[in-house]
Amino acid sequence: MSGERTDIPCQVCLDLWPLVCDGVASEESCRLVEDHLAHCPSCRAETAGETPFLPPSPPSDERVLAALRRRLLAGGLLLAGLGCLVGLAITYSANMFYNLLLLPLAGAAGALALGRRWPWAPLGCFGLTYLWLFLRAGWELLTSPGSMRWGEGLSLLLFSPFLMALIYSLLALVGAVIARLLAFVFRREPGDPARPHHPGGAK
């Protein structure tokens, strides 16, 4: 209504002010108090030094999604890293063949966490494996010098870590590709048929 009264008496404003400060007043009451204080110097003097309650603004959807993505990224990379480390720990042991299952799972976790940057999952597995086995072979050569010939030591230091890193990264690549394919399939809407192809063009 155009003739609706929008001002309130000073006493009503002062009575509502504590409720506004505590954050329990309605939006309409807060607006009336703010409008009254805007043109009433005596009420402004009475309420000077008191800050009204400002409810915290709810987080935006973008910030919530960004935080969720960061948590998923950290969790996926943590699982992938742990999988690679466990696989490296059992390398050259009787449990080494468990890596046929463990490393594809690690690659899948890394691929799902990285999204479009999923190729970094098998590449990271290659780098981590090569570095670990290279340092391990170097430590064996340092702690037992003269136990093998020069050619055998060079093979242990360079060729063997590279070969194992290549095998492990291929296993991680298999898991990463399977994970990306499954993510693509489940991302499509259910019941969305494939677009028909007409050899002669659209009809």
pLDDT of 190 > 50? The answer is: no
- Predicted confidence at residue 203, as pLDDT, reads 44
> Is residue 73 classed exposed, middle or buried when 0-12, 13-18 and 19+ CB atoms within 10 A define those classes?
middle
pLDDT of 174 > 50? The answer is: yes
pLDDT level of residue 18 (50, 70, 90 thresholds): confident
Of 125, 119, 123, residue with least CA distance to 81: 125
Residue-by-residue DSSP string for 27-51? HHHHHHHHHHHHH-HHHHHHTTT-P
Q: pTM above the 0.85 mark?
A: no
Instruction: Please tell me the distance from the alpha carbon of residue 178 to that of residue 32, in angstroms, as a whole number.
Output: 61
pLDDT of 2 > 70? The answer is: no
pLDDT digits (tens, 9 = 90+) for 24-64: 778 888 888 888 888 888 888 877 766 665 555 566 677 77
Of 184, 187, 180, residue with least CA distance to 111: 180
